[in-house]
Amino acid sequence: MSEVRSAGCFPLVKCNLAFYTCRKTQAHIGKTMAQISTIPAVSTLRQTRLRPALSRALAAPALALAVLAGACLPVQADQKTDLETRLAKLSTEKLEELFAFVGGNTLFTIYHEAGHMLVSEFGLPVLGQEEDAVDNLATVTMLASDTPDMDLYLTNAMIGWFAVYEDDIDSMVFYDEHDLNQQRGYQILCLMAGADREAFGDLAVDLDLPEDRLDQCEDEYALSADSWEIVTDPFLRPEGSKGNRITVKYDPAPAGLSSMEVFLKESELLQLVADEMDALYELPEAVTFRASACEEENAFWDPQAREVTVCYELLEGFAAVYLDVLAD
């Protein structure tokens, strides 16, 4: 563990993260870690500088994603979408890689929207752009867990960020609305390297974070973590009390996206973030975290409905990025 992360006082480190490991995969973790440790490096990435980053990420310990991939609902051949046809052709190893990538990008997105929720519900002061602020909160929160699985997810989210940016994939509404750019990406990357240079230093180098900026990242991480602790401290839940303010709901996925619905349910990514937010904060009102069909690749916080929505189409979009940009 990083001394910086383990010594930090961001409130998430006080939270019991035992619920992090997906219940559906606990019995298979050891076997799958061994499988993933032998996955060969990806050698045909179109973005040359992403190749070593993804290779390292895929060689790291990970959740037993093969179990999740195998749980995808069967679809009749004449009903398969282009995505499901492509998924059906992947090996078990490639499905593990794909769902690690989809999971990392989805989890970061959920934390990001949960950040908007906290700003809205608590009226938190934000200096500068709110998007930048909740990027920092999502990154610091994920870093605070300091586990190999969460580090893998965060690394995949970062690779996805730069893959989408560099490949000029402008059809994803989430990224269009949230002004994806390299400056925000490098800020997130700097926080990661500042929290744990041993874990993320190579990734920062692979993605061309300037060396002089890298040397400042530990201070930037400490400042960001301390700042979020100060503004959220008045809203922390008393230790040992239960929140039960956040309800997780799954609407039926449209035809062709059942695999994304099953993955989101079985991985319990929405539940993970909901449980963390509930355990940490005294939310003033009930909130819903919802997975739904939106007819667009998006995720958003609705302050009027008090609802975080993650669209199944967004997960489909992340899968397509992996298949189009990062897969062999």
Residue 180: what pLDDT? 53
Q: For 67-94, what is the mean pLDDT?
A: 61
Distance CA(88)–CA(284), nearest Å, equals 45
Distance CA(84)–CA(212), nearest Å, equals 44
State whether the Cα torsion 308-311-316-320 is positive or negative: negative
Residues 163-215: tens digit of each pLDDT:
877 655 444 444 444 455 778 888 999 999 999 999 999 999 888 888 899 99
Kindly report the three-state secondary structure assignment for every residue of the chain: CCHHHHHCCCHHHHCCCHHHCCHHHHHHHHHHHHHHHCCCCCCCCCCHHHHHHHHHHHHCCCCCHHHHHHCCCCCCHHHCCHHHHHHHCCCHHHHHHHHHHHHHHHHHHHHHHHHHHHHHHHCCCCCCCHHHHHHHHHHHHHHHHCCHHHHHHHHHHHHHHHHHHHCCCCCCHHHHHCCCCHHHHHHHHHHHHHHCHHHHHHHHHHCCCCHHHHCCHHHHHHHHHHHHHHHHHHHECCCCCCCCCEEEEECCCCCCCHHHHHHHHHHCHHHHHHHHHHHHECCCCCEEEEEECCCCCCEEEECCCCEEEEEHHHHHHHHHHHHHHHCC
φ and ψ at residue 308, rounded to 5 degrees: -95, 125
Q: For 321-325, what is the mean pLDDT?
A: 87
Residue 328: what pLDDT? 62
Residue 20: what pLDDT? 24
> Which residues face 311 on adjacent strands?
292
Residues 117-144: tens digit of each pLDDT:
999 999 998 877 888 889 999 999 999 9
Residue 56 has pLDDT above 80, yes or no: no
Distance CA(149)–CA(323), nearest Å, equals 22
Q: What is the pTM of this model?
A: 0.77
Which residue type is seen at 168?
D
Residue 326 has pLDDT above 50, yes or no: yes
Residue 299: what pLDDT? 94
Ranking 61-65, 123-127, 157-161, 291-295 by mean pLDDT, the lowest is 61-65
The pairing of strands 246-250 and 299-302 is unpaired
> Which residues face 174 on adjacent strands?
none
Residues 212-258: tens digit of each pLDDT:
999 999 999 999 999 999 999 999 998 877 788 999 999 999 888 88
Distance CA(47)–CA(325), nearest Å, equals 8
Q: Is residue 190 within 8 Å of 224, Cβ to Cβ?
A: no
Instruction: Give exposure, 166-182, as e/b (b: 16+ Cβ within 10 Å).
Output: beebeebbbbeebebee
CA 257-267-304 angle, 5° bins? 75
